[in-house]
Amino acid sequence: MSDSRIDKAITLGSVKKLIFSPSGKVLWIVVGRDNEHWSDPDLGFCTCKDFYFKSLSGGSECYHLKSIRLAAKDSRFVTTEFDDGEYVQMLQAIVDDQSALLCRR
Protein backbone atom coordinates (compact mmCIF):
# COMPACT_ATOMS: atom_id res chain seq x y z
CA MET A 1 0.00 0.00 0.00
CA SER A 2 1.49 3.30 -1.01
CA ASP A 3 1.83 6.12 1.47
CA SER A 4 0.39 8.44 -1.17
CA ARG A 5 -3.02 6.78 -0.83
CA ILE A 6 -2.90 7.31 2.92
CA ASP A 7 -1.74 10.92 2.54
CA LYS A 8 -4.49 11.53 -0.02
CA ALA A 9 -7.18 10.18 2.32
CA ILE A 10 -5.98 12.47 5.09
CA THR A 11 -5.54 15.52 2.85
CA LEU A 12 -8.99 15.13 1.27
CA GLY A 13 -10.66 14.91 4.70
CA SER A 14 -11.68 11.28 4.26
CA VAL A 15 -10.70 10.37 7.83
CA LYS A 16 -13.58 11.24 10.11
CA LYS A 17 -13.80 11.03 13.88
CA LEU A 18 -17.38 10.87 15.16
CA ILE A 19 -17.64 11.88 18.81
CA PHE A 20 -20.79 11.21 20.83
CA SER A 21 -21.63 13.39 23.81
CA PRO A 22 -21.78 13.32 26.72
CA SER A 23 -20.37 9.76 26.81
CA GLY A 24 -17.28 10.52 24.72
CA LYS A 25 -17.77 7.39 22.57
CA VAL A 26 -15.82 7.57 19.33
CA LEU A 27 -16.33 6.00 15.91
CA TRP A 28 -13.80 6.38 13.09
CA ILE A 29 -14.99 6.39 9.49
CA VAL A 30 -12.78 6.47 6.40
CA VAL A 31 -14.39 7.34 3.11
CA GLY A 32 -12.91 4.96 0.55
CA ARG A 33 -13.22 4.73 -3.21
CA ASP A 34 -16.59 3.03 -3.14
CA ASN A 35 -17.81 3.11 0.46
CA GLU A 36 -17.39 4.46 3.92
CA HIS A 37 -15.59 2.04 6.23
CA TRP A 38 -15.89 1.88 9.98
CA SER A 39 -12.49 1.23 11.49
CA ASP A 40 -11.40 0.85 15.09
CA PRO A 41 -7.67 1.43 15.54
CA ASP A 42 -7.82 0.26 19.18
CA LEU A 43 -9.22 -3.10 18.08
CA GLY A 44 -7.26 -3.19 14.82
CA PHE A 45 -10.53 -3.72 12.95
CA CYS A 46 -11.96 -2.39 9.68
CA THR A 47 -15.04 -3.24 7.65
CA CYS A 48 -13.16 -3.20 4.32
CA LYS A 49 -12.37 -6.24 2.16
CA ASP A 50 -8.62 -5.82 2.63
CA PHE A 51 -9.05 -6.30 6.37
CA TYR A 52 -10.76 -9.64 5.85
CA PHE A 53 -8.56 -10.91 3.06
CA LYS A 54 -5.16 -9.52 4.05
CA SER A 55 -5.02 -8.29 7.63
CA LEU A 56 -6.69 -11.33 9.18
CA SER A 57 -4.33 -13.67 7.35
CA GLY A 58 -1.26 -12.01 8.83
CA GLY A 59 -0.75 -9.30 6.24
CA SER A 60 -0.34 -5.63 6.96
CA GLU A 61 -3.12 -3.34 8.07
CA CYS A 62 -5.49 -1.90 5.49
CA TYR A 63 -4.96 1.67 4.38
CA HIS A 64 -8.04 2.77 6.34
CA LEU A 65 -6.45 1.78 9.67
CA LYS A 66 -3.11 3.22 8.62
CA SER A 67 -4.83 6.46 7.61
CA ILE A 68 -6.60 6.75 10.96
CA ARG A 69 -3.41 6.10 12.90
CA LEU A 70 -1.47 8.75 10.98
CA ALA A 71 -4.36 11.25 11.01
CA ALA A 72 -4.78 10.80 14.78
CA LYS A 73 -1.05 11.17 15.38
CA ASP A 74 -0.96 14.40 13.37
CA SER A 75 -4.44 15.63 14.44
CA ARG A 76 -5.49 15.78 10.78
CA PHE A 77 -9.03 14.45 10.67
CA VAL A 78 -12.55 15.81 10.37
CA THR A 79 -14.43 15.82 13.66
CA THR A 80 -18.21 15.64 13.85
CA GLU A 81 -20.10 15.65 17.12
CA PHE A 82 -23.33 13.82 17.76
CA ASP A 83 -25.64 13.34 20.71
CA ASP A 84 -25.45 9.97 22.46
CA GLY A 85 -29.04 9.36 21.34
CA GLU A 86 -27.73 9.05 17.77
CA TYR A 87 -25.11 6.39 18.58
CA VAL A 88 -27.33 3.34 18.02
CA GLN A 89 -28.72 4.86 14.81
CA MET A 90 -25.17 5.42 13.53
CA LEU A 91 -24.17 1.83 14.31
CA GLN A 92 -27.33 0.57 12.62
CA ALA A 93 -26.55 2.64 9.52
CA ILE A 94 -23.04 1.15 9.41
CA VAL A 95 -24.43 -2.39 9.73
CA ASP A 96 -27.06 -1.71 7.06
CA ASP A 97 -24.44 -0.33 4.67
CA GLN A 98 -22.17 -3.32 5.19
CA SER A 99 -25.06 -5.76 4.78
CA ALA A 100 -26.02 -4.10 1.50
CA LEU A 101 -22.43 -4.39 0.28
CA LEU A 102 -22.24 -8.07 1.16
CA CYS A 103 -25.49 -8.79 -0.65
CA ARG A 104 -24.31 -6.97 -3.79
CA ARG A 105 -21.14 -8.96 -4.22
- Name the strand (E) or helix (H) holding 78: strand 78-83
Asked if residue 37 lies in contact with residue 30, where contact means CB atoms within 8 angstroms, the answer is yes
Domain that holds residue 100: 3-104
Model pLDDT for residues 34-86, shown as the tens digit of each residue: 788 999 999 999 988 888 887 777 778 898 999 999 999 999 999 999 999 99
Q: What is d(CA 18, CA 104) in angstroms, rounded to the nearest whole number?
A: 27
Bridge partners of residue 80, in order along the sequence: 18
Asked if residue 87 lies in contact with residue 18, where contact means CB atoms within 8 angstroms, the answer is no
Confidence (pTM): 0.85
Give the chain's domain count: 1
Asked if residue 68 lies in contact with residue 42, where contact means CB atoms within 8 angstroms, the answer is no
Model pLDDT for residues 12-30, shown as the tens digit of each residue: 999 999 999 999 999 999 9
HSE on the CB side for 58, CA within 13 Å?
0
